[in-house]
Amino acid sequence: MKKFLQFVGEMKTWGCLSFTGSLCIYTLIDTFWGDGQIACATVYQLLALCGIITLLQYVFFSGRVLKKPSYYLRMAVFCLLVFGTCAGFARAFRWFPMENLAAWGMFVVIFFVIFLVFCLGFEIHFRILGKKYDMALGRAKQEREKP
């Protein structure tokens, strides 16, 4: 039961971050290229999309499912799966004119730019977090070594 509750807590946190981020990105893009409003159906679509992405994130980065592949291999496969999922949602729900190659081009560019920004953000976050842990570990060692 403890592992299940831990799983639910992680999924809830990651899902909330993903959903909030997707809504912010959507509204920003829609402000420039749309009518500045978001339909309820789109909110539900983004919620479902974020749920799938959160499950993929758990599989690839929790350390509980995939342990052996390198970080960069996991990141590359994750990126392709998330892109495919997003493209599938865009096509299924007709987020833009499907025959418009320029719209698809913008979709691809926006996806990869945002994916890169998120990857860099997580990399910076975890490096800072790692330094904090290293400093705390150093302080703890010093405390133990004191007479």
Q: How far apart are CA 90 and CA 22, in angstroms?
A: 13
The range of the structural domain enclosing residue 37 comes to: 2-145
Q: How far apart are CA 61 and CA 81, in angstroms?
A: 14
- φ, ψ (nearest 5 deg) of residue 88: -65, -45
Q: How far apart are CA 36 and CA 39, in angstroms?
A: 10
Tens digit of pLDDT for each residue in 25-51? 888 888 887 777 888 999 999 999 999
Q: How far apart are CA 54 and CA 12, in angstroms?
A: 9
Domain count for the chain: 1
Against a cut of 0.85, is the pTM above it? no
**Helix boundaries (H) for 39-100:** 40-61, 71-92
Tens digit of pLDDT for each residue in 7-17? 888 888 888 88
